[in-house]
Amino acid sequence: MEPSVKTVNLTKKFSDITAVDSLSLEISQGETLGFLGPNGAGKTTTINMLCTLLRPTSGSAYICGIDAVKYPLEVRKKTGIIFQEPSSDDMLTGYENLYLHAMLYGMNKNSAEKKIKEMLFITGLEKRAGDQVRTYSGGMRRRLEIARGLLHEPAVLFLDEPTLGLDPSARREIWSYLGKIKSDRKTTIILTTHYMEEADSLSDRIAVIDRGKIIALDSPSALKSSLGEDLVFLKGKISDQALNLPFITHFEKKGEGYEIAVKGLSKNIKKLLEEAEDVSEIEIRRVSLEDVFLKLTGKKIDEEGKEESGGVFESVVRYNSVRK
């Protein structure tokens, strides 16, 4: 089957900055691709070229086989975009925003009305559809923008930081709508986010982009298992023999115990505990996408906010260069 999105050496230069550097990528129909990268990596620029809002400097992009440079209008019909910055009209009602979009996309009145009703239902906004958008919460606005992006039934939906600035519960709500869209409509989704948990839970594959280039591309679990080790903290007396087991890649004395990096933890934990002399406490931290990101980009992630509800750990991430 033809890929939903295909880029071949896609490049965008802004004077002396190469924002997107010879990017080649294929995304299958119905796939959700998470685009991760530090600030300025080129995520928005890539999306804007794929949506025909920016013209590539060189290379090509195809949406459902259609050349985005040669046939931008055709490609626009196939794509929906939710921008990084809020873009609905404050003074119009939710319904009016959707209606305006439907008219811009050349939908006829009847099918527009039907689609709007359906999208308001899917995004849970029916009751507020008649209110001006300025009275909406941040989460409702984002939902409205998702409804708008999907109104003309695009084959490919681009979401640039869809949950930025939302509180954790609004963010979860958006995830569940995206999950629904993915399973009901087989829409191909390309998502950029700074929330690692978001990328992990929504994406089939993750592309890590840095300085305009893709530096890793795989499923979240493959990225984690190929690049990371789980960390185990063992409190107590730990024998040298245990610390030198072949699956231990690194250890460090910490307080009254050791922090130990273990490859293949599930398989090897038993052996480690058998060899360790006297363990009074164990703490395990599974490798996360954040660890993978740090390893790949050399950028450190500062956690700005943490939430602990239902055992879910979530963090807002910022990237700062690590001085080495």
Binding site for ligand ATP (CB under 6 A): 14, 17, 19, 37, 39-45, 84
Scan for tokens 């071949």, then name that residue. 8
Cβ closest to ligand ATP, residue 5 vs residue 122: 5
Residue 46 binds Mg ion, judged by CB under 5 A: no
Residue 19, C-beta contacts closer than 8 angstroms, at least 6 positions apart: 12, 13, 42, 45, 212
Angstrom CA distances, 182 to 100, 178, 186, 209, 274, stand at: 25, 6, 5, 23, 45
Among 4, 11, 44, 188, binds Mg ion (CB under 5 A): 44
Residues found in the chain: 324
Q: Which does 78 bind (CB under 5 to 8 A by kind): Mg ion, ligand ATP, none?
A: none
User: Shortest Cβ contact with Mg ion: which residue?
Assistant: 44
Cβ closest to ligand ATP, residue 17 vs residue 222: 17
For residue 238, the minimal CB distance to ligand ATP (Å) is 41
CA 150, CA 146: separation in Å to the nearest integer? Answer: 6
Q: Which does 181 bind (CB under 5 to 8 A by kind): Mg ion, ligand ATP, none?
A: none
Q: Which does 41 bind (CB under 5 to 8 A by kind): Mg ion, ligand ATP, none?
A: ligand ATP
Cβ closest to ligand ATP, residue 31 vs residue 160: 160
Cβ closest to Mg ion, residue 164 vs residue 269: 164
Q: Which does 40 bind (CB under 5 to 8 A by kind): ligand ATP, Mg ion, none?
A: ligand ATP
CA 127, CA 247: separation in Å to the nearest integer? Answer: 57
Residue 45 binds Mg ion, judged by CB under 5 A: no
The secondary structure of 187-211 as a DSSP string is -EEEEE-S-HHHHHHH-SEEEEEET
For residue 37, the minimal CB distance to ligand ATP (Å) is 5
Angstrom CA distances, 112 to 77, 238, 257, stand at: 14, 68, 64
Tokens representing 283?
């703490």
Residues lying near Mg ion in the complex (CB under 5 A) are found at: 43-44
